[in-house]
A = this chain, B = another copy of it.
């Protein structure tokens, strides 16, 4: 521990990520990032010449890779869509630590975050939705409906994370995870036979 030893990029990102997750882009100070990583500020600038901006983008990219591994494709592609969706729900519970972890899509999309990061968030969220929709299409769901349900899935995940955080109670997120697969595979929606689509305003 006496000598400065190099830390791998992967390890480094895994230590920086919790700071960005918890504090958001603006809230994550270099002092905190330095302490969390065990590297002095100048060393962080050596690894990330573009500073905090580059750190945030790298953390976001790593999160997307981990999400893809943990949640989008944890079950073998040969498994049934239902099995894969249950595996996805399980992966989401792990990825978000049962609802205690903040989602970067949430904290990095607020104003004040640099545009480059926000653009990454936008494309990442779109890929996330598309990934879920693809799975639902494989399950025999109409593409347009699959797209809607992919959005619904992300909406429920993000909303449950916000509510669990606000209430300081993981129950909402756990409940959403529990009904995740069934909600996405529910029958043809049977939309209110007598009033098709609610025609308000």
- Listed in ascending order, the chain A residues whose CB lies under 8 Å from chain B are 22-24, 26-27, 86, 89-90, 93, 102-103, 105-107, 109-112, 121-122, 125-126, 148, 151, 154-160, 162-163, 165-168, 172, 175-176, 178-179, 181-182, 191-192, 197-198, 200-201
Contacts and interface: CB of A to CB of B under 8 A. Distances in A.
Contact of A159 (B23, B109, B112, B155): B155
- Is chain A's binding surface mostly helix, strand, loop or mixed? helix
18 contacts: A24-B24, A86-B198, A89-B200, A93-B201, A105-B162, A106-B166, A107-B110, A125-B163, A126-B167, A154-B163, A155-B176, A158-B159, A158-B163, A159-B162, A162-B162, A178-B197, A179-B198, A181-B200
